[in-house]
Amino acid sequence: MQHLDPVAAHAFLQSEPQAVLVDCRTEIEHMYVGHPPGAEHVAWQEAPDWEIDPAFAAKVGRLVGHDLSRPVLLLCRSGHRSVLAGEALEAAGFTQVINVLEGFEGPLDEQFHRGTQGGWRFRGLPWQQS
């Protein structure tokens, strides 16, 4: 698995039109916190039980037209869930899996707030809310 910071991930997406950005956060996070334009939403896990979706890799496979060599970039809140999701994709045969470091909101700061030290939004990259 490759790891790119948000700025490098955005540049990669601009230069590789076949690449797919998958937002693996929950539906609520994707809709209300925001997401990069064009990001495909496939939740790694959802409330209330937080169990990992056993169909995650199959759903991403459908997004890439079952071409497991297409680059798939994974974005979550802070870059943790996306690593786990990426490992599952690699185990399913995906060959170009890229984790977006820092995620959408970045790490917690000293006051336990996100968005002040890193992440897609913090880096000034395009985003929207549903």
- Give residue limits of the domains in the chain: 2-100
pLDDT class of 33 with cuts at 50, 70, 90: very high
Q: In what order do the strands lie in the sheet with 2-4?
A: 2-4, 97-100, 72-75, 20-23, 40-41
pLDDT class of 42 with cuts at 50, 70, 90: very high
Name the percent of the chain lying above pLDDT 90: 97
For residue 130, the model assigns a pLDDT of 84
Find where tokens 């037209």 sit: 65
Fold for domain 2-100? Oxidized Rhodanese; domain 1 (3.40.250)
Per the prediction, the chain carries an average pLDDT of 96
Average pLDDT, integer, range 100-122: 94
Predicted model pTM: 0.95
pLDDT class of 57 with cuts at 50, 70, 90: very high
